Amino acid sequence: MDFLLLAMIVSNVIVNLIGISANIILAFLVIKKTRKELRNYSILILNCAVFDFVACICSLFVDQRLIPSELGYFFFSHGPCRLFGATACYFGYIVMLHCYPHGLYSLFYSFCYRYYILSHDQPKISTIIATLAAVYSPSFFQLVRHFTLLIYFVKQDVFRC
């Protein structure tokens, strides 16, 4: 294993462990230390923390590298998913990928929420959760689409090594 690859693997582990730790601390603080005035908004913060936590776990599990070539792109997994096979690596990758757009959509919703409460009362918690479910739906459909492809690939024995 060359030095550059080892440096990339170590940096991936360090960055993801920091992300996992930070999101655990953030979730704990949101659950235990949020003041009543910020309870509604804390749901949005907790949502971001949970999805960032899942993305960091999956990134640590997969540790994927993308190698371009004339034939296309090749994905190489250097994480612990290799112990479980290519299917586990692909599953971890699609879960990780579906977390990223949801994080961006949640960030946008967070800005919209803050703008909204400047001139309106805070919405009910049930309204916030329903809106979060609607915001999550595109990412969920992406996950379902990729999971369906995963099932198809497994049936076609695409992942044999």
**Rounded CA separation 156/136 (Å):** 30
Residues 97 and 150: beta-carbon distance below 8 Å: no
DSSP H or E stretch at residue 65: strand 64-68
Name residues whose C-beta falls within 8 Å of residue 99's C-beta, 6 or more positions apart in sequence: 51, 52, 54, 55, 58, 139
Binned average pLDDT, 10 residues per bin, the chain of 161 residues: 86 96 97 92 96 97 90 89 91 95 95 95 95 96 91 76 52
What is the reported pTM?
0.89
**Rounded CA separation 61/55 (Å):** 10
What's the pLDDT at 161? 52
**Rounded CA separation 68/39 (Å):** 46
What's the pLDDT at 160? 63
Residues 93 and 65: beta-carbon distance below 8 Å: no
Three-state DSSP class for 158?
coil
What's the pLDDT at 5? 83
What's the pLDDT at 159? 62
What's the pLDDT at 1? 65
What's the pLDDT at 139? 95
